[in-house]
Copies of this chain bind each other. A is one copy, B any other.
Amino acid sequence: MANPFVLKLQDLKNQSAANVATIFSQGNGSFGVQATDPLVASAGTIINGFYEQAPITYGETAYGYAKNHQTIIALPSLRQLQLEDQAGRPAVSLGAQSVALDMATGILTAVYGVSFAAAEPAALTLTVRSLIGEADADLSAYLLDYQVKSLTYQGALTLTKPGLALAATAAAAVDPDDPRVVDRGSKLTSATLASTAQTLTQTITTQTSQLTAQVQMAGIGTDLRRVVQLSPGAQFELTYLAQLDFAPHRDLQPATAATVTALRQRTATYWHDFWAAGEVKISGDEQLDRGLHFNLYQLCQSANRTGAYSIAAKGVSGPGYEGHFFWDTEMYMLPFFTYTQPKIARALLKFRYQQLPQARQRARELGVSAGALFPWRSINGQEASAFFPAGTAQYHLDADIAYAVGLYYETTLDDPFMAKYGLPILWETARFWQNFGAWGERDGQRCFMFHDVTGPDEYTALVDNNYYTNRMAKHNLELFLKYYPQFQACAQLPVTAADLAALQEIAAGIYLGFDPQRQLTPQDDTFLNKPLWPLASTPAANFPLLLHYHPLTIYRYQVNKQPDMLLTNLLFPGEKSPAQQARDYAYYEKVTTHDSSLSRSVFAVLAAQLGYDDAAYQYFLDSALLDLTDLQGNTKDGLHMANLGGSWLSVIYGFAGVSLQDGLLHVNNHLPQKWSGLTFRLKIAGRQLQVQLTKDKTTVELLSGAALEVVIAGQPTTLEAQAE
């Protein structure tokens, strides 16, 4: 039986070097290293939040536009190694012969054939074993074991291990017609702080944003430059440790063998604990089982744990989307962390809290007199979206963050978090909605409305009463009103009784549309009036639409890039009748292109919940293996992190029907026909649970912690505490 923790080169559909580099990238949320070929000079090191800034140029500018681009920098790969034969010829890589990632231990092993002239067969093999250590505060480590083995080579071999070789960075390949990938250029400066035979310590500084990282490359029991005598069959091994330090900088001590031993142990423990807390096992489909392990492994590698950064759209696996943080983190990735790695979830929400000052400022720039508006895409907390109709107008981000705060608290009951970080976020976002919206009349009823907003579906822009936005804003207000009494004493917010009354009135009055004639939940006030996009007659080559049609063309049709209204059916389960949910699903599925990688996982959840087994399974397949099959053809630019999180949602919310309602965990078995079983772990309020589904049985086991009530298939059940 295959090991679901091991992913190999042959498991990939697209084995191009660029795709391999992304898929097998290693990271710890603070930085990542792509699995590039060590003999090829290339970019491959991504430090989370290490961006360059440049003024945004608008064809036509206006008041309040985002001022600066923030663009993550792909630094040179730390994997680089220079080999020279005794004639001084540099080594030529014949490419990766094998690659294997062990997700149980975090160790990546890649073997490359090496020759010294273009058409020659391999004279050596170079094996690289690499490991990324968990960040210790801001200090991160990347361990490299190089094993060189001679096949036919005889003579002296010179090895040079560079630090971060700036000059060697190749420019990222950029498609000028694809807005998702950009290269704005950046001029880095590098300085050597210290240099010995064994150790090189450098600083790397960006020109405009003035960020500095410190990188130390150290030989462990070896110099950085070595000359070795080799004969056929002989081999030797060299170990190097890179340490990266982000501001503030400390004196980096040279690494020793003991440092390395401790790092190996710590990393092994980390991954053991990670899987113990959140492994998902699928029985009956080895490929999906491994694929899902991969998705969770990469999710974890990408998530910053320090509170200083979030998870970029591509994590630390590639420079796509400029390394920006979007709503994806809160809505697609945070549930996984909340239920399995609550410390990481907490750090990610603390990150948002820390950017409240910028968000308050942004709300003022948008003409909203109180509250905070988080930036649609950003690293440093300032809006970097240069196209406001599909950027800043996605005000729903405020409510998305609030939703994540609510879910985190309900799952963890982390009172100190709520008092210090959660409630201020809920307050500032609730205040935003209060001052952004307006009272008006609809169908003879006084109600509170939001105008000229863009929902998650970016194929529809600047509309009134986007259902998703309104429903989420309502939840945002309700969360604040629910938790304010409990935490007001600690949180010390300037809330008056009048504020509470106003927020209460608004929460109750927010307009939620319904089309009685069509018996549908309308996406917004005007969506259902538009003509349907002629999907059947649109050539397959014209997808994704955004690369083949002007936004004005797309906007004037009923067509979705990704679910919008439907997402609320996932987020507020049980709120609508099953019949209504089925009607909504049927209608919006027909107008959705899935041009966004955020689309299919939501459909998988909803289809599973509605009992559409085949559809759920098919959506899940596409979603679960999206990067491993390079479904969208752009995995080389980085992993689709939101979709990785979405695949967990598909399994847990969809096939296992997990939801938290009034503090109670619900489980509803929707196991796909093709699987014989599903086992996964969750944490609720400090308890470690294991849930096991087979075709005819649903078991929830309390692995640790106090007794807990859960609801299985609608039946309340009390899980008794286990004897220690």
Residues on A lying within 8 angstroms of B by beta carbon are 56-66, 69, 177, 179, 365-367, 385-389, 391-393, 438-440, 442, 449, 451-452, 461-462, 464, 525-526, 529-531, 546-553, 555-557
Q: Which residues of B contact A548 (CB under 8 A)?
A: 63
Q: Contact between B464 and A386 (Cβ–Cβ < 8 Å)? A: no
CA distance A464 to B462 in the complex (A): 11
Please tell me which one of the listed residues B61, B69, B439 contacts residue A179 in the complex, with CB atoms under 8 A apart: B61
**Bound complex: CA A190 to CA B386 (Å):** 38
Q: A58-B386, A62-B387, A452-B555 are in contact. List 18 more A-B contacts (CB 8 A).
A: A57-B57, A59-B386, A59-B387, A60-B179, A60-B385, A62-B179, A62-B550, A63-B177, A63-B547, A63-B548, A64-B550, A365-B550, A366-B550, A366-B552, A367-B552, A438-B531, A451-B555, A525-B529
Q: Is the interface of A mostly helix, strand, loop or mixed?
A: loop
B-chain residues with CB within 8 Å of residue A555 when the two chains form the complex = 451-452, 462
Asked if A550 meets B60 with Cβ closer than 8 Å, knowing A451-B529, A452-B556, A464-B529, the reply is no
> Nearest residue in B to A395 (C-beta to C-beta)?
B552
Q: Can you list 9 residue pairs at the A/B interface with Cβ under 8 Å?
A: A61-B179, A367-B550, A388-B550, A440-B531, A451-B529, A451-B531, A451-B556, A451-B557, A462-B462
Residue of B nearest to A69 (CB): B59
Number of copies: 2
Contact A551 B386 (CB under 8 A): no
Closest CB-CB distance, A186 to chain B, in whole Å?
17
What is the CB-to-nearest-CB distance from A369 to chain B, in angstroms, rounded to a whole number? 11
Select from chain B the residue with minimum beta-carbon distance to A365: B550
Question: What chain B residues lie within 8 Å of A388 (beta carbons)?
Answer: 550-552
Contact check, A553 vs B177: say whether CB atoms are below 8 A apart.
no
With contacts A367-B550, A452-B555, A555-B452 taken as known, whether A60 is within 8 angstroms of B387 at the C-beta atoms is yes
Q: Contacts A63-B177, A69-B59 known; A367 to B462 CB distance under 8 Å? A: no
Distance A386 CA – B61 CA, assembled complex (angstroms): 9
- Nearest to A362 among chain B residues (CB) is B550
- In the complex with contacts A449-B529, A451-B529, A555-B452, A63-B549 CB distance below 8 A: yes
Nearest CB to that of A368 among chain B residues?
A: B553
A63 touches B367 (CB 8 A): no
**Is A526 in contact with B464, judged by CB distance below 8 angstroms?**
yes
* Chain B residues within an 8 Å CB radius of A552: 64, 366-367, 388, 392-393, 452
Chain B nearest CB from A98 CB (Å) reads 41
Which of A59, A65, A66, A440 has the largest count of B CB atoms less than 10 A from its CB?
A59
Are A64 and B367 in contact (CB-based, < 8 A)? no
Nearest chain-B residue to A551 (Cβ)?
Answer: B62
C-alpha gap A527/B387 in the complex (Å):
23
Residue of B nearest to A182 (CB): B60
* Chain B residues closer than 8 Å to A177, beta-carbon distance: 61, 63
Chain B residue at minimal CB-CB distance from A440: B529
Q: Look across to chain B and name the residue whose beta carbon is closest to the beta carbon of A511.
A: B529
Least CB distance from A459 to B in Å reads 11
Q: Looking at the assembled complex, report how far the CB atom of A58 sits from the nearest CB atom of chain B, in whole angstroms.
A: 6
In the complex, what residues of B have CB within 8 A of residue A63's CB? 177, 546-551
Give every chain B residue within 8 A of A530 (Cβ-Cβ): 438, 440, 451-452, 464
> In whole angstroms, what is the CA distance A270 to B179 when docked?
55
Among all A-B residue pairs, the 9 with the closest Cβ atoms: A59-B386, A64-B550, A367-B553, A438-B531, A451-B556, A60-B387, A452-B556, A56-B59, A60-B386
> Which residues of the partner chain B approach A59 to less than 8 Å between Cβ atoms?
56-58, 65-66, 69, 386-387
Which residues of B lie under 8 Å from residue A438 when comparing CB positions?
530-531
Alpha-carbon separation in the docked complex, A702 to B690 (Å): 98
Q: Which residues of B contact A551 (CB under 8 A)?
A: 62-64, 388
Which B residues are CB-close (under 8 A) to A553? 64, 366-367
Chain B residues within an 8 Å CB radius of A385: 60
How far, in Å, is A526 (CB) from chain B's closest CB? 5
CB A603 to nearest CB in B, in angstroms, measures 25
A555-B553 Cα distance, complex, nearest whole Å: 20
- Distance in angstroms from A411 CB to nearest chain B CB is 34
- The distance from the CB of A137 to the nearest CB of chain B, in whole angstroms, is 35
Q: Smallest distance from the beta carbon of A340 to chain B beta carbons, Å?
A: 35
Q: Are A64 and B549 in contact (CB under 8 A)?
A: yes
